[in-house]
Structure 1
Amino acid sequence: MDKYLLEILVCPLCKGPLYYDKKAEELICRPDRLAYPVRDGIPVMLEDEARELDPEEGVPA
Structure 2
Amino acid sequence: MAVSKELLEILACPKCKGEVTLNKNKDGLVCRACCLVYEIRDDIPIMLVEEAKPFKE
TM-score, length-scaled by structure 2: 0.89
Q: In structure 1, list runs of 5 or more residues that go unmatched.
A: none
Q: 2:44 matched to 1:42?
A: yes
Q: In structure 2, list runs of 5 or more residues that go unmatched.
A: none
Identity among equivalent positions (%) equals 45
Map 1:19-30; keep pairs closer than 5 Å: 19-30=21-32
Q: Partner letter of residue 38 of structure 1?
A: I
TM-score, length-scaled by structure 1: 0.83
Aligned mate of 2:17, from 15, 18, 36: 15
Give the greater-gyration-radius structure (CA).
1
Tell me, what secondary structure is at the counterpart of 1:14? coil
- The structure 1 segments of at least 4 consecutive aligned residues displaced by more than 3 Å after TM superposition are none
- Aligned-CA RMSD value: 1.1
